Amino acid sequence: MTTAGLEFRDVAKAFGAVQALRGVSFTIAAGDAHACVGENGAGKSTLLKILAGIIRPDRGALSWAGERVHFSSPREALGHGIGMVYQEMLAFPNLSVTANIFAGREITGPWGRLDERAMRARTQELLTQLHVPVTPDTSMERVSTACAQLVQVARALAFDCRVLVLDEPTTSLTDAEVDHLFGVVGRLRQQGVTVLFVSHRLPEVYRLCDRITVLRDGQFVGTFERATTPSDDIVRAMVGREPPKRVPRVSSPVSTFAPAELRRTSPSSPALQVRGLSSRPAFEDVSFQVAPGEIVGMFGLVGSGRTEILETLFGLAVPDAGQVAVDGQAIHVRSARDAARAGLALVPENRQRQGLFFNLSLRHNLVLPLAAKQGVGVIRDAGEEAVARAQVESLAIKTPHLRVTPDALSGGNQQKIVAGKWLATTPKVLLLDEPTKGVDVGAKFEIHNLIRRQADAGMACLMVSSDLPEVLALADRILVMREGRLRGELPGAGATEEAVMRLATQEAGGTA
Ligand SMILES: Nc1ncnc2c1ncn2[C@@H]1O[C@H](COP(=O)(O)OP(=O)(O)OP(=O)(O)O)[C@@H](O)[C@H]1O
Ligand SMILES: [Mg+2]
């Protein structure tokens, strides 16, 4: 089909002094699967929010099927067939799946009464069609991230959407869940639904989309054909220069496999030592150590217990058994505060829930862990400003100034704040859970460099990541988890994706 689809014409939007979109024009053919990519803060989510009627553009126009449209609310956009799956969850957590699907457009009976039965039945139909393993009555807060995303798709379908817009829907999904979501999207396409997909994962963009539009600094750079454009060209268009190279190893890897003289500290004093740590059913009898200056990668499929180990080490959960020592001293942490005092820091996976204080300024967010560690409420103003400024600069955090609250930042820039605030504390042991989730290529490179620099300065790093190339690029040693147990260990140098995956997926009972 080449009928006029969705057209953006000269769309501009500023937030105060920040020009998020500077007059963007491009067209998405009806029935197409179209990607929109760009660095953190390029304006992707802003463009999508304008399309969905959440924010108003300062100027410019939208047309859909040849007709000029203007949406002043998400409901109105939905009414015109534009359904959206959001980057950050906007569901009503304490309401049921059914209530979330029909919010704002409830089915009513003859006297205007809500027709609960009809809504539940339609919800069940949609959940079955999309193979979502929840019931219409399940409370939204008990629905996993992957299912919650599919519930948003169900909501769009309940409104007979003709355009499905997905803003980074796969950042928290496992490979199998991504396959499922893409299967659903593929079927919708066959029914003629137009798809607009935003993601930092270029392989997924290439898998799903026919055309790719690149935004840079709020400007349209170009629309490229998937079939004829190598991904390096897309990256170059996104960053406006040569794509960043893999992080070089700035020091010889310090691993238990290295000869003793290569290690900067004696192997008898690991910075972090974990023995027989258990928290059933999440994980059991886990033992390992991390030396000062070492980066240990922990890999495993989602559900293998990795996040739970980090949370337990950081005092957010109580173990059933096991010992933990920092610098040879046994520690018993009951809270994040205890953990910080003991020299631990955690970069958590979920920035919405654990990573940021949305009512505090960036400056406060950035220095809070440092203040907590020093046992003071707030650091002196000048010191605070300097620490915060240094972080904003080194991570290229895109913000007008330090007084804004985190909600004014793009998703990836929020993640940089989460990583940056803990990297400012120079803990003895740094725990990192998916440190570059939702972060663009350039920032990923910066965060990797920061981690490497901290390790070179003697910090012990334990990093959980689902991004296998990231683990292979950074880790001196790789621990592989499967079903709550440590199944093996590989030296970082020379390990292959296949070897790691084999350990992560082998049937129980296989050799470790
Ligand atoms: N509510 C807001 N108030 C102030 N500034 C905002 C607001 N929303 C977005 N911005 C700014 O507008 C710019 C574009 O943000 P946007 O969220 O569209 O980026 P993005 O391309 O989606 O990035 P990411 O890949 O990190 O999600 C950023 O500089 C951001 O800080
Ligand atoms: Mg975004």
- In this prediction, residue 464 has a pLDDT band, given cuts at 50, 70 and 90, of very high
pLDDT in tens, 27-37: 999 999 999 99
Q: Does 181 have pLDDT greater than 90?
A: no
- Pocket of ligand 1 contains residue 42 by CB under 6 Å: yes
Q: Which residue has the higher pLDDT, 460 or 131?
A: 460
Please say if the pLDDT value at position 111 is more than 70: yes
Residues 6+ apart with CB under 8 A from 128: none
Predicted local confidence at residue 254, as pLDDT: 42
Contact indicator for 451, 432 with CB cutoff of 8 Å: yes
Q: Is the pLDDT of residue 51 over 70?
A: yes
Nearest CA to ligand 1 atom 4: 408
Ligand 1 proximity of 300 Cβ (cutoff 6 Å):
no
How do strand 82-85 and strand 163-167 relate by DSSP bridges? Answer: parallel
pLDDT of 156: 85
The CATH 3.40.50.300 portion of the chain extends over 6-239, 269-505
Ligand 1: nearest atom to the Cα of 415:
26
Compute the average pLDDT of residues 366-387.
66
Nearest alpha carbon, ligand 1 atom 24? 40
Determine the pLDDT at residue 348: 81
Q: What pLDDT, in 10s, does the model give residues 470-504?
A: 899 899 999 999 888 999 999 988 888 888 888 88
Say yes or no to pLDDT of 456 above 60.
yes
| Cα–ligand 2 centroid distance for 46 (angstroms) | 7
Class of domain 6-239: alpha beta
Output the CA 361–ligand 1 centroid distance in Å. 16
- CA of 220 from ligand 1 middle (Å) equals 15
3-class DSSP assignment, residue 486 = strand
Q: Ligand 1: which atom is nearest the Cα of residue 399?
A: 31
The domain 269-505: what is its CATH number? Answer: 3.40.50.300
Query: Is pLDDT above 80 for 508?
Result: no
CA distance linking residue 486 with residue 318, whole number of Å: 19
* Token code pair at residue 325: 């020592």
Average of per-residue pLDDT values in the chain: 84
pLDDT grade, residue 285 (50/70/90)?
very high
444 or 82: whose pLDDT is higher?
82
Average pLDDT (453-480) is 90
Percent of the chain past pLDDT 70, that is, above it, reads 88
Q: Is the pLDDT of residue 106 over 50?
A: yes
> Band of the pLDDT at 43, cuts 50, 70, 90?
very high
In 3D space, the residue among 130, 134, 102 whose CA is nearest the CA of residue 117 turns out to be: 102
pLDDT tier, 265 (very low <50, low <70, confident <90, very high otherwise)? very low
pLDDT grade for 244, boundaries at 50, 70 and 90: low
Rounded to whole angstroms, the Cα distance separating 408 from 360 reads 12
Question: Is pLDDT above 80 for 14?
Answer: yes
Mean pLDDT score, 132-141: 90
Residue 336 has pLDDT above 80, yes or no: yes
Which percentage of the chain shows pLDDT scores above 90?
A: 37
In terms of average pLDDT, the best of 76-85, 339-348, 463-472, 474-483 is 474-483
With a CB cutoff of 8 Å and minimum separation 6, the contacts of 112 are: none
| pLDDT score recorded for residue 79 | 85
Q: Which residue has 């663009």 as its token pair?
A: 440
